[in-house]
Amino acid sequence: MKQIKLSAAALAVAFFANMSYAEAPVTDLSTQPTATTMTTVNAPDSSTASSTSGGNNSSSQIQAPSLKGMNFDDTAGLTLKQRITRLERMFNARSSSQLQIRQQLNQLSDRLAQLNGQIEEQQHQIKQIVKRQRDLYQELERRLSNTQQSAQTNAANQDSAKDEPVVGGDGEADYENAVKLVMQDRKFDQAISAFQTFLTKHPKSSYLPNAHYWLGQLQFTQGQSDKAQAQFETVVKQYPDSNKVPESLLKLGQLALQSKHISQAKDYFNKVIQNYPQSSAADLAKNQLKSLK
């Protein structure tokens, strides 16, 4: 009886030993140094112990991570660095592109401001030219009636002196032709040349102060301030008794005002008012002074 129990025990031990070796898989971890491996452990099902048929065994697999052969510093570190490097390159490229766009916008903004300044300056110049031409037209209209009256008087004088020889003359015809280019034809460039020719051709004519004044007026209208100033100063200094002096002083004041010489402009306007109070130029000078207050 005792031998039977020993034999039975030996057979049971052998049976379970063989079953364990047969069911347990063999895993070589050395072949997977860089990957996370899962070790499979087969555990006998509880049904195995209670089964009497023998040979019909079921098992449940328990997976556990194996850390053998893992190198987190090298593998994971290189991948992270590569990702960071890519992100840095993308960020730097985007930052560079944004910087270029910002610089282009700044350049466009500066260019736009420059163009706006040029437009404002041109608009101011256009306004000045229009104002000068309007003043000239008003002057021409005002002088037209006086010229017609003067022409009638000169025609009467010519009739009374038609038998007298004319030597050189006073340049009246040339002066009238130059005035006609201004008043009737509105050919200002040709009128400037005509007055300049008149001044050279008739240096002793009684129309010299008028010619200097009209030449200055035309040059003033065309923005030739320095040349216009010279002509008006010639009228004031060389022909103090001419009826063109008050108007020449008025024009000198306007030129000074245009050059931002406010004090000098006031002096010219005050001279017109004080010395020629009954002239039309005096009324214009008063208006100029009021605008400066």
The structure's pTM equals: 0.50
Sign of CA dihedral 140, 145, 148, 152: negative
Residue type, 124: H
Give the burial class of 245: count Cβ atoms within 10 A of its Cβ; 0-12 exposed, 13-18 middle, 19 or more buried.
buried
196 vs 211: CA distance, rounded Å: 8
Q: Looking at residue 241, what is its pLDDT? A: 93
245 vs 235: CA distance, rounded Å: 6
Q: Are 288 and 257 spatial neighbours (Cβ–Cβ below 8 Å)? A: yes
Of 198, 142, 134, 152, nearest to 172 by C-alpha is: 198
Distance of CA 256 to the CA centre of its chain: 32
Q: Looking at residue 21, what is its pLDDT? A: 44
41 vs 23: CA distance, rounded Å: 9
Q: Looking at residue 145, what is its pLDDT? A: 54
Q: Looking at residue 109, what is its pLDDT? A: 84
Q: Looking at residue 149, what is its pLDDT? A: 56
Tens-of-pLDDT digits for all 293 residues of the chain? 445 444 545 544 444 444 444 444 444 444 444 444 444 444 444 444 344 444 444 444 444 444 444 444 444 466 777 878 878 888 888 888 888 898 888 888 888 888 888 787 777 666 666 666 566 655 665 555 555 555 555 544 444 333 333 334 578 999 999 989 988 888 999 999 999 999 999 999 999 999 999 999 999 988 899 999 999 999 999 999 999 999 999 999 999 999 999 999 999 999 999 999 999 999 999 999 998 87
User: Domain spans of the chain?
Assistant: 131-155+170-292
Q: Looking at residue 24, what is its pLDDT? A: 45
Q: Are 192 and 218 spatial neighbours (Cβ–Cβ below 8 Å)? A: yes
Q: List the CATH code of the domain at 131-155+170-292.
A: 1.25.40.10
CA distances from 237 to 67, 200, 234 (A): 112, 19, 5
Q: What phi, psi does 42 have (nearest 5°)?
A: -95, 125
SS3 of residue 286 by DSSP? helix
